[in-house]
Structure 1
Amino acid sequence: MNEEKALQEFSLEPGSRDRERIRTLLQQEIDNSNAVDNDYLRILCVMLFAIGQVEDTQLIWQAKRKNQDTRSYVDVQLLCGAGFEETIIYLEQLGEQQAEEQLQYLKQCELYDFVDFSKEEWIAQYKQYYGVIEG
């Protein structure tokens, strides 16, 4: 599947009923060492960001950390679909090593990447990038 097919199947702002399927596709993409379609990986992250469940932040973190290319390809803001503060609280409560690493990363990025953070504005930017027409 590529990003165009994913957009056709789920839309850029899918309903929560599609969440598990999107999570599965993203996990498969993370696990596939031969996958080179970073647009597909990113759009799955954008979809989970749009759904906004705080629990998805760690899966998106795995996608961001997959390789050197995806580190810059998956925007840090995608880690915070539930909101920056909500994500920080969630990661602090988890207390796992991966959560701690992600927490430190987010805190380092806070002053640069989360000033006036607006999920709606990021979704609007992705709609423009992917040519999604609302109607």
Structure 2
Amino acid sequence: MTDEEFEGEDKEEAALARFGLPARLSDRPEIIRTLEEEMRLDNDLCNESLMRLLCVQLFSLGMVEDSLRIWQAKSHNFDAFCGIDVQILCGAGLEQTKGFLSGSSDEEATKAFEYLREAEAAGDFNGFDVRGALEEHRSYYI
């Protein structure tokens, strides 16, 4: 999405209207592009609320390979790290996400895997259910 597409609109509202929740698989490339554009901005210019929504939209697609991209968004800055819940990495499910991240040689995947393990040990995934989590996000945004 370009800034022109957001003229006169709240960026979150525009992204929600454009991509929906759950998002459509056909919009995945555009969601990714928009998220990457936001992450390229300086920390004081990026919109962490928009980044969180875009991550939730990727979560809703349930594609395990998006977990690393969501981790990169979460790790972008302090506000994003606090605002993007660790569970959002797990749209494909906790075990599938851990398997994907632990099987990757990417350094960021290793960091994400370790963070997931720590969060799981701390009880952050007690009662976690992808479908239930998506419904919670829908009730928040819609």
Structure 2 length as normaliser, TM-score? 0.88
Counterpart in the other structure of 1:63 = 73
Distance 1:126-1:30 versus aligned 2 partners, 3 A rule: same
Distance 1:86-1:124 versus aligned 2 partners, 3 A rule: same
Aligned-partner residue type, residue 135 of structure 2: A
Flag as ranges the 4+ runs of structure 1 deviating above 3 A.
none
Q: Counterparts of 1:27 and 1:15 in 2: how far apart (Å)?
A: 18
The percent of aligned pairs where both chains have the same amino acid is 37
Aligned-partner residue type, residue 25 of structure 2: S
Q: Counterparts of 1:85 and 1:41 in 2: how far apart (Å)?
A: 24
Q: Counterparts of 2:27 and 2:90 in 1: how far apart (Å)?
A: 19
Counterpart in the other structure of 1:119 = 130
**Is 92-101 or 54-63 further displaced after alignment?**
92-101
Q: CA offset at residue 57 of structure 1?
A: 0.7
Q: CA offset at residue 128 of structure 1?
A: 1.5
Q: How many correspondences in the alignment? A: 131
Q: Counterparts of 2:131 and 2:101 in 1: how far apart (Å)?
A: 23
| 5+ long unaligned stretches in structure 1 | none
For 1:42-57, list aligned pairs within 5 A. Answer: 42-57=52-67
Structure 1 length as normaliser, TM-score? 0.92
Aligned-partner residue type, residue 66 of structure 1: H
Aligned-partner residue type, residue 70 of structure 1: A
Aligned partners of 2:38 and 2:46 also within 8 Å: no
* Alignment of 1:12 onto 2:32: no
For 1:1-135, list aligned pairs within 5 A. Answer: 1=6, 2-33=11-42, 34-111=44-121, 112-130=123-141, 132=142
| 5+ long unaligned stretches in structure 2 | 1-5
Q: CA offset at residue 36 of structure 1?
A: 3.7
Q: Counterparts of 1:17 and 1:45 in 2: how far apart (Å)?
A: 16
